[in-house]
């Protein structure tokens, strides 16, 4: 059953990844500025930015399957509505609805994975789940380049809406209905406010969520604008989208590699710290002044690929820490919601900051300074996480709660 949860996550990520390759077309068709295009890129995270904790609460109380299917339905409606947009207003509203759907999916799906995967396989399962975002983004960029070249962005929006409707029906058919678990029964008497604020009273939830924000802010800022950077460097749109798809796709390698490493006892904090340092070095190389000449484009592209691949160690490690240490399903879902809320803050703010810096400076070189700031903050949070978790990995048998 867990494979359907991961597939639903990939489907949701398609809606995040469908926009970057379409930005030049949206600017030409609807007259969008770069800043407004950045807002559209970030708006899918608005629901998570405002309602992450609430989504975790409702996913647990209304049922993980219902929440997952409901999120897919919101993505379908938002994508179909966006295809009809004649101006920025409708497109912005549809993107916000997609954000709510995306949030419902990414809060519910990993909790379903935790519920249905054997405890000994939790690390590898979190590695597979962590790959949902780069997998969906890469597929959207690769397929979108072909569709956008052959038709229009409106057809692309409709096609993804139809695919999401199919996925909603498939999940409803394949995933068993929720039934109360011992953890849900145990926490039922807790007030709604108590359930909502439980992650905020757990220091590890704060550390994990803020570290996720430091990662997501720089990853989406770099990958989201890579097509625009490539087009400005003289690449054709289809080639630019293909290059970006490859950069996004190699992030899957990092996520799966993290799952493999976690299963063999490597500490998640070691993986996170290593990834942050490599990401900072890669952005300094890719956006620093010494590789801006056209002759160094291949090196810049390789640095961005390494940035994405090694960065993939971070989501899987953070998800594994949350699932291993959460004492109940209820707190696990709430922590996932809080992590998504802070991740959404990073994904909402990161592209906006980078776009503002690029617009003001007339080039992309300040992206390296933004990434360095995220890396420094992230390393500080890794130290906090180390103080909050045991020195040795927690055995997988203690990390998952069965039920439903």
Q: Quote the Cα angle for 116-123-188, to 5°.
A: 45
| pLDDT confidence tier of residue 214, bands split at 50, 70 and 90 | very high
Helices 313-325 and 297-311, interaxial angle, to 10°? Answer: 10
- Find the mean pLDDT for residues 198-221: 90
Give the C-alpha separation, 368 to 221, whole Å: 11
Give the C-alpha separation, 108 to 372, whole Å: 32
- Helices within 233-328 (DSSP H only): 237-263, 268-287, 297-311, 313-325
Give the C-alpha separation, 296 to 58, whole Å: 50
- Find, among 286, 298, 314, the residue nearest to 379 by Cα: 314
| pLDDT confidence tier of residue 182, bands split at 50, 70 and 90 | very low
pLDDT of 330: 67
Least reliable range by pLDDT among 124-133, 155-164, 179-188, 328-337: 179-188
Q: Please count the other Cβ atoms lying within 10 Å of the Cβ belonging to residue 87.
A: 10
Residue the block writes with tokens 């926490």: 187
- Find, among 339, 329, 310, 316, the residue nearest to 399 by Cα: 329
* pLDDT digit string, tens, across residues 22-55: 888 888 888 777 777 777 776 776 777 777 777 7
- Find, among 211, 229, 220, the residue nearest to 364 by Cα: 229
Q: How many residues does the chain have?
A: 404
**Taking the chain, what is the end-to-end CA distance rounded to the nearest angstrom?**
12
pLDDT, the chain, mean: 81
pLDDT of 391: 52
Does residue 132 carry a pLDDT above 90? no
Q: Are 76 and 164 in contact (CB under 8 A)?
A: yes
Longest dimension (CA), the chain: 65
Secondary structure (3-state) at 399: coil
CA 292 to chain centre: 29
* pLDDT digit string, tens, across residues 234-293: 777 677 777 877 888 898 999 889 988 988 888 999 999 999 999 999 998 888 766 565
User: At 231, phi and psi to the nearest 5?
Assistant: -65, -40
pLDDT of 22: 85
Task: Write down all domains in the chain, each with its CATH number in brackets.
Answer: 2-175+198-391 (1.20.1250.20)
């Amino acid at each position: 059953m867990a494979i359907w949860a991961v597939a639903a996550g990939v489907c949701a990520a398609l809606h995040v990844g469908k926009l970057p390759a379409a930005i030049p077309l949206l600017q030409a068709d609807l007259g969008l500025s770069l800043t407004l295009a950045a807002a559209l890129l970030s708006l899918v995270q608005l629901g998570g930015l405002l309602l992450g904790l609430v989504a975790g609460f409702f996913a647990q109380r209304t049922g993980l399957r219902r929440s997952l299917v409901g999120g897919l339905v919101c993505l379908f409606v938002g994508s179909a509505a966006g295809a009809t947009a004649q101006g920025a207003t409708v497109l912005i509203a549809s993107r916000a609805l997609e954000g709510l759907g995306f949030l419902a999916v990414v809060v519910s799906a990993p909790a379903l994975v935790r519920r249905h995967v054997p405890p000994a396989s939790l690390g590898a399962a979190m590695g597979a789940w962590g790959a949902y975002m780069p997998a969906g983004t890469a597929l959207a960029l690769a397929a979108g380049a072909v569709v956008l070249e052959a038709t229009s962005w409106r057809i692309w929006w409709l096609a993804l809406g139809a695919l999401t409707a199919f996925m909603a029906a498939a999940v409803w058919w394949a995933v068993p209905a929720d039934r109360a678990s011992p953890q849900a029964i145990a926490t039922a008497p807790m007030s709604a406010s108590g359930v909502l604020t439980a992650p905020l009273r757990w220091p590890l939830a704060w550390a994990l969520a803020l570290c996720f924000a430091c990662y997501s802010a720089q990853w989406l800022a770099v990958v989201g604008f890579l097509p625009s950077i490539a087009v400005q460097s003289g690449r054709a749109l289809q080639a630019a989208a293909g290059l970006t798809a490859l950069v996004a796709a190699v992030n899957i390698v990092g996520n799966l590699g993290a799952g493999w490493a976690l299963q063999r006892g490597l500490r998640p904090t070691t993986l996170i710290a290593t990834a942050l340092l490599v990401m900072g070095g890669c952005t300094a190389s890719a956006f620093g002044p010494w590789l801006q000449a056209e002759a160094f484009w291949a090196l810049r592209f390789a640095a961005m690929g390494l940035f994405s691949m090694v960065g993939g160690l971070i989501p899987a490690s953070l998800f594994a820490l949350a699932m291993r240490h959460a004492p109940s399903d209820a707190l696990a879902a709430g922590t996932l919601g809080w992590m998504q809320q802070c991740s959404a803050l990073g994904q909402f703010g990161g592209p906006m900051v980078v776009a503002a810096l690029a617009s003001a400076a007339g080039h992309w070189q300040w992206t390296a300074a933004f990434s360095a700031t995220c890396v420094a903050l992230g390393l500080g949070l890794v130290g906090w996480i180390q103080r909050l978790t045991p020195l040795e990995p927690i055995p997988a048998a203690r990390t998952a709660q069965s039920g439903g």
